[in-house]
């Protein structure tokens, strides 16, 4: 009875943290407006000043409440006798929520620690650099890389973390699917030109600006945004959306729910209204590749190659 209570308290905290993150994305999307540029194309712009102070306070309360409730549930559960269940699958909605809750706990906790603690200890020249900004932009993915394999350490195969990390067969699949990704980008560009929408969204411009600002400071600084975009982001996002979310949704409701559900959330967290459909379709391709190969390394490689080429295209 007590253990179930502790688990439910921790689950409640996890859901609060998940909602706090989703609410932040929805607030970002709600501030978007479309305006015509000098060339007559529609551009999506973010107007952060439109966010009501009340919503900002509510977001902070959800974060703080989630952090406190999650930790109380976890610490209470640790004081109780462990219940052994060696054959239990971790592909459950509860494990999905708790694992995402741990990501939220460490992500939001590190944000608070940075702004109210260790941030001042970092040299200003690095703290204000575009390289540090790029790493800060993938802080959630960094946390996911640390948390997800640890949480699922006894069932790594269930989330697709199995050998080989790379094989000739996998390379063939990745190259084949990259052709689809490239073709999709050409179609997206053509359609956007036809309907008069600028697909170079605020998010894409921000990433491109970071890369070029870092490039101006030298090769080593330029490598930080490239590593953030082409290594950290693919690893963290594929662990979250294909490894955990798709696997759990597939186990619970079937293949289509896993593919569509993970691709939808993958597109949503990018908070890019202009590229919502292309990112969703890319998420579907990643999900299908994961389903076909049974290995999470395949979509990780495809995601990494796609992001690396995009980064090099901005730099060169």
pLDDT tens for each residue of 41-92: 777 777 766 667 777 888 889 999 999 999 999 999 888 776 666 667 889 9
Lowest-pLDDT range of 86-95, 162-171, 236-245: 86-95
Question: Do 176 and 284 form a contact (C-beta atoms < 8 A)?
Answer: no
Per-residue pLDDT at 275: 86
Residue-wise pLDDT tens digits, 170-193: 999 999 999 999 999 889 888 888
Nearest-angstrom CA–CA distance, 46 and 23: 16
Per-residue pLDDT at 49: 64
Per-residue pLDDT at 86: 63
Per-residue pLDDT at 233: 97
202 vs 86, more confident: 202
Contacts of 242 (CB under 8 A, 6+ apart): 160, 262, 286, 287, 290, 296, 299
123 SS3 class: coil
Nearest-angstrom CA–CA distance, 74 and 175: 44
Q: Mean pLDDT over residues 239-252, rounded?
A: 98
Per-residue pLDDT at 191: 85
219 vs 49, more confident: 219
Among 14, 314, 296, 281, smallest CA distance to 134 is for: 314
Lowest-pLDDT range of 13-22, 23-32, 102-111: 23-32
Cβ-based neighbour number of residue 53 at 10 Å: 7
20: left (phi over 0), alpha (psi -120 to 50) or beta: alpha
């Amino acid at each position: 009875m007590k253990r179930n209570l502790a688990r439910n308290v921790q689950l409640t905290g996890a859901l609060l943290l998940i909602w706090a993150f989703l609410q932040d994305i929805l607030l970002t999307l709600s501030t978007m407006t479309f305006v015509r540029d000098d060339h007559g194309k529609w551009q999506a712009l973010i107007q952060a000043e439109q966010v009501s102070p009340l919503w900002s306070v509510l977001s902070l309360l959800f974060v703080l409440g989630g952090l406190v409730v999650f930790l109380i549930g976890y610490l209470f559960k640790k004081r109780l006798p462990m219940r052994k269940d060696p054959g239990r699958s971790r592909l459950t909605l509860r494990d999905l929520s708790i694992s995402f809750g741990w990501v939220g706990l460490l992500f939001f906790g590190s944000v608070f620690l940075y702004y109210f603690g260790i941030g001042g200890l970092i040299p200003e020249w690095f703290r204000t650099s575009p390289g540090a900004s790029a790493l800060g932009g993938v802080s959630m993915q960094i946390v996911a890389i640390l948390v997800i394999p640890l949480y699922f350490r006894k069932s790594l195969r269930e989330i697709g973390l199995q050998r080989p990390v790379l094989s000739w067969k996998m390379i063939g699949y990745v190259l084949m699917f990259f052709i689809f990704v490239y073709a999709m980008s050409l179609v997206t560009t053509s359609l956007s030109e036809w309907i008069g929408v600028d697909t170079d969204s605020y998010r894409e411009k921000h990433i491109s600006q970071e890369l070029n600002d870092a490039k101006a400071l030298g090769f080593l600084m330029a490598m930080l945004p490239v590593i953030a975009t082409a290594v950290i982001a693919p690893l963290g996002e594929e662990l979250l959306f294909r490894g955990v979310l798709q696997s759990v949704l597939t186990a619970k409701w079937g293949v289509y729910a896993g593919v569509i559900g993970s691709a939808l959330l993958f597109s949503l967290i990018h908070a890019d209204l202009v590229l919502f459909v292309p990112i969703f379709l890319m998420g579907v391709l990643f999900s299908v590749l994961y389903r076909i190969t049974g290995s999470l390394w395949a979509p990780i490689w495809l995601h990494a190659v796609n992001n690396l080429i995009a980064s090099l295209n901005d730099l060169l």
